[in-house]
Amino acid sequence: MYLRRLKDLREDSDLSQESIAKILKITRSQYSLYETGKRDIPVDLLIVLAQYYRTSIDYIVGLTNTFKKYPKAK
């Protein structure tokens, strides 16, 4: 389920895989493996994504269907 969420969050933000890969400091091909489910995404990268999208890791990985926009970290 979180594979679809990764793609949906990225597309809803009008970002390319290349853009997200730069944010995560990985290659586009590495990110593509996470989005397609060929590799599990490491927790440290999930944290970065949750902070970037301002939502919970629970939402990203499908433990909840409630998208809650958190305030920007100071």
Q: What is the identity of the amino acid at 10? A: R
CA separation for the pair 68, 63 (Å, rounded)? 13
pLDDT 10s digits, 3-61: 889 999 999 999 999 999 999 999 999 999 999 999 999 999 999 999 999 999 999 99
56 within a domain of the structure (yes/no):
yes
The enclosing domain of 41 has a CATH number of: 1.10.260.40
| DSSP annotation of 71 | P
| pTM for this model (two decimals) | 0.86
Q: Specify the number of domains making up the chain.
A: 1
